[in-house]
Structure 1
């Protein structure tokens, strides 16, 4: 990896477990896995079109089915090509905003949210992994609605099923992931975990 490429990838926020992971590294064992992998790869290859449409993807399924792998591969693929792309876990997003409410903090809540809105692609991992409090729903809505209004692409992942996730993040947030005008799509990763032998999420 060249120095510039390495810096760009590390600036995405992707953790060490998935740093350097690509679509080619993703293990495909069924037609459904092949389909979703192709969708994720095409999403990045045709990103200029995706940006014009403001298309979103939401990956739902049990832990270990490859949701985070594909999302991180997308982020890194775009970063290498010079796009601004950011990976963040939902819990980290909430923590950063809540910490900004304290006196003497370096970042204001509005600044944290703006950073999440401004990047070309945002990945929010592990949606619904928290308590679903009104404060968390409001934070998430500010980010999601901000990107939606600006037609900014977003990929979300969750270990929850559709009904449970909707209750945790709120109907308004879930509605944004289903916008047909933007050609947004939801995929269910309903195959067995890959974590036996190889660590994936």
Structure 2
């Protein structure tokens, strides 16, 4: 049997040396340059001031990019929210308070925003109910604006009339949107502010009741909160939107905020 010669393998130990030496930067002048020697190869460090400036520039660029993405995201959120131009500037802070009832309503709306994460967990809804021109839409839009501008949450504002028109438009074969698309845009946001419930003095049609139930029930099943705004009384609400809708709004403890004072239209803050 032929024997093979075994050649031993010798490990080569390499050493790394670090030293400093005088150097000169065209921009910042003399500095102590760090030199690292690996396998007899010198790796020379740069000017500390230049390195700090480059790091600061990278950080500034990263922050600018993040800010741009945040603005872009907010623009998308605001565009999807479809808050009317008149109420895009409505905030909780610029709601005009002249008496205790208004202060009471504002307090409830502030609390709803401050505790929205908890409201969202249970799908707790709110009804702003009472006389026309008392600031209900202002506060409803203000709740949506607060969530859109200060939290990652999504919120949309719609009137019942606009929803019904949008769905009817999908019946046209040339429509680019389907009824399912419309309903999804109302069910999926974290908060829906649904205004002008029962605005018509006539009894609601089967189409209106069916649509309202699809929206409220869809959000109920996903446990997403809804803020409903109406000029009707509490006793008139079941007839306007259906007992089943009202029953689902009650789940988790419905918050009812009354607006029983006289119209404030024409006054600043409404």
Using the size of structure 1 for normalisation, the TM-score is: 0.91
Q: CA RMSD in A?
A: 1.7
2:241 maps to: 169
- C-alpha deviation, 1:63, in angstroms: 1.2
1:131-156 superposed Cα distances (whole Å, 9 cap, x missing partner): 41010100010000000111101101
- Gaps in structure 1 of 5+ consecutive residues: none
Relative to structure 1, is the Cα distance of residues 101 and 186 closer, same or farther in structure 2, using a 3 angstrom cutoff? same
Mean Cα displacement is larger for which, 99-108 or 110-119?
A: 99-108
- Gaps in structure 2 of 5+ consecutive residues: 1-69
2:108 maps to: 39
Q: Is the 8 A contact 2:105 2:258 kept in 1?
A: no
1:123 maps to 2:217: no
Matched residues, number: 197
2:262 maps to: 192
1:18 maps to: 87
Q: Is the 8 A contact 1:145 1:173 kept in 2?
A: yes
- For residue 123 of structure 2, the aligned residue among 54, 74, 78 is 54
Choose between structure 1 and 2: higher strand proportion: 2
Using the size of structure 2 for normalisation, the TM-score is: 0.69
Relative to structure 1, is the Cα distance of residues 61 and 86 closer, same or farther in structure 2, using a 3 angstrom cutoff? same
- C-alpha deviation, 1:95, in angstroms: 0.8
Q: Is the 8 A contact 2:96 2:269 kept in 1?
A: no
- C-alpha deviation, 1:183, in angstroms: 2.2
- For residue 230 of structure 2, the aligned residue among 145, 148, 158 is 158
**Which structure is richer in relative contact order (CA contacts within 8 A, separation 6 or more)?**
1
Moved over 6 A (4+): none
Larger radius of gyration: 2
